[in-house]
Structure 1
Amino acid sequence: MLNSKKLARVAGIGAAATVAVGLFSTGAADADTFVALPGGTITKVLSDGTVVTVRLVGESANINPSLGSTPAHRNAWVSGSAQVDVEGGEDIGGKIYPGYVVGCQVNISGGGVEGALAGGFDVGDEESVLGAESGGNLSLGPGQATSFYILDIEKPDDYGSEDHATNNSFQGNNGSVTWADSTIGLTGCGGYAQARAFVRVKVETDRVQSVVTLWGQPFSIG
């Protein structure tokens, strides 16, 4: 039996959107493995001179290699914080899209993915990441990889209907997103499996729009 509860919160300028998933493990037979990850930093100078710095900090994963008691089931709870700083302008805004790539018997450590890709995702393609789905319950076979967004923020659209956002918007020179114990659930993979965080940031100034991507370090999920 698996119980989960997701909370999302969005605040104003420089605020964090937080996603928390509380999970109750099935038993003591399968010991969880905690992995502290190094995160990273990337700085990009846009064509108009605007400087964008993206950081991934406090990244970690808590891995249960066999939640379904078979080698084809994996489960991990991932945490981290994405932080964005923008210099060189005043009329600035952007969107932060945090997510993960998950692969089954696929090398996801380079700039691309070797092998067949589920959902047509290519880690070297900026627009593919922006088209990823939300939700971390995945089914992959050998040689497949896919991506998903951490955020699923419910808010009304322009007409008052329910809408879901996979990003946190910010205005000004700073923005951030924090997630804690968000789930990666993988079924169907009988071989080794890996995951890797990404943070994609779309920045808009009065003269340019650009996308900056930061990749985390790949880690095994069993």
Structure 2
Amino acid sequence: MTTIPSTGSGVLKRSFGVVGTTVAAVGLFAPGTATADVFVPLPDGQKAAPGALITRTGESALVSPSLAANGAGRVVWVSGMVVAEVTDTPEGKVGPDRGPSNSPGSNNSSTSGASQLNTGYVIGCQVSISDDAVSLAAKAGLAPQRGSLSGSIGVRMSPGEVRFVQLERADIVGPGTYSVDYTHVDMSIEGCGGYAQARAYTNLEIVGDNHSKTTLYGQPFSIG
């Protein structure tokens, strides 16, 4: 599993109690116009969390065969925006990134001492990414592959595997509106002979005495 550097850039914006991450990422290869490319518009979603509301809008995917043309790879460019309107959270203090504890429920998020919004994709190779499959993967304590919105994300998989790829996160240090906006972030899936699926996930984890973790999943879609 590798992350290939590219020329994209990211900016974290903070103003008037509103924190957002706005990124336009372009990988080594821009989305092509070949007839084999498939554009997949995806529905919006929303989920209530304790003291917050999570919303995903404008999600889409552009699926292309891998340039390797070996039948075991494909590339998908994903776009979307997730927003968490947080009305109740302790005043957080951002500390060292401890990473996932690899215990049940920690599969696709990690906190650094503050509450946190993080988003990414669940990818399955020859596995239908239904709610049951995602739940089983979560219980297995699979740690996420940390991606980067400033480059191409390489994901190597084998048949039957499920992986979480975290695109970006935002620390929540108090009530406010927190967002992550990503455009044409490309994920290259290699080694998966057979069909593959993906679906977006967004985690909102609120720390403190009334600790909670809420996940909003997107609609599954085929990536070839």
Interval containing the TM-score (normalised by the shorter chain): 0.7 to 0.9
Alpha-carbon distance, 1:89 to partner: 6.7
Question: Please, what TM-score do these two structures have when normalized by structure 2?
Answer: 0.74
How has the CA–CA distance of structure 1 residues 137 and 90 changed in structure 2, closer, same or farther, with 3 Å as cutoff? closer
Determine if contact 1:15/1:177 at 8 Å carries over to the other structure: no
Name the count of aligned residue pairs. 191
Q: Which residue of 2 aligns with 1:141?
A: 158
Distance (whole Å) between structure 1 residues aligned to residue 200 and residue 84 of structure 2: 16
Distance (whole Å) between structure 2 residues aligned to residue 215 and residue 198 of structure 1: 4
Deviation track 1:58-77 (CA, whole Å, cap 9, x = no partner) reads 11101113332221110001
How has the CA–CA distance of structure 1 residues 134 and 88 changed in structure 2, closer, same or farther, with 3 Å as cutoff? closer
Q: Which residue of 2 aligns with 1:161?
A: none
Deviation track 1:162-189 (CA, whole Å, cap 9, x = no partner) reads xxxxx21133232111111111110111
Q: Which residue of 2 aligns with 1:31?
A: 36
28-37 vs 170-179, which deviates more? Answer: 28-37
Distance (whole Å) between structure 1 residues aligned to residue 83 and residue 198 of structure 2: 21
Alpha-carbon distance, 1:197 to partner: 0.6
8-17 vs 136-145, which deviates more? Answer: 8-17
Long gaps (5+) in structure 1: 46-50, 115-120, 152-166
Over the residues paired in the alignment, what is the CA RMSD in angstroms? 2.7
Alpha-carbon distance, 1:142 to partner: 1.0
- Of all paired residues, the percent bearing the same amino acid is 33
Question: Please, what TM-score do these two structures have when normalized by structure 1?
Answer: 0.75
Distance (whole Å) between structure 2 residues aligned to residue 97 and residue 191 of structure 1: 29
> Which secondary structure does the structure 2 equivalent of 1:15 belong to?
strand
> What pairs with 1:124-163 in structure 2 (closer than 5 Å)?
128=141, 131-135=143-147, 136-151=153-168
Q: Which residue of 1 aligns with 2:137?
A: 122
> What pairs with 1:69-218 in structure 2 (closer than 5 Å)?
69-87=69-87, 91=91, 94-113=115-134, 122-123=137-138, 128=141, 131-135=143-147, 136-151=153-168, 167-170=169-172, 171-204=174-207, 207-218=209-220
Distance (whole Å) between structure 1 residues aligned to residue 216 and residue 199 of structure 2: 11
Alpha-carbon distance, 1:15 to partner: 2.8
Matched, 1:41 2:46: yes
Alpha-carbon distance, 1:200 to partner: 0.5
Q: Which residue of 2 aligns with 1:156?
A: none
How has the CA–CA distance of structure 1 residues 59 and 188 changed in structure 2, closer, same or farther, with 3 Å as cutoff? same
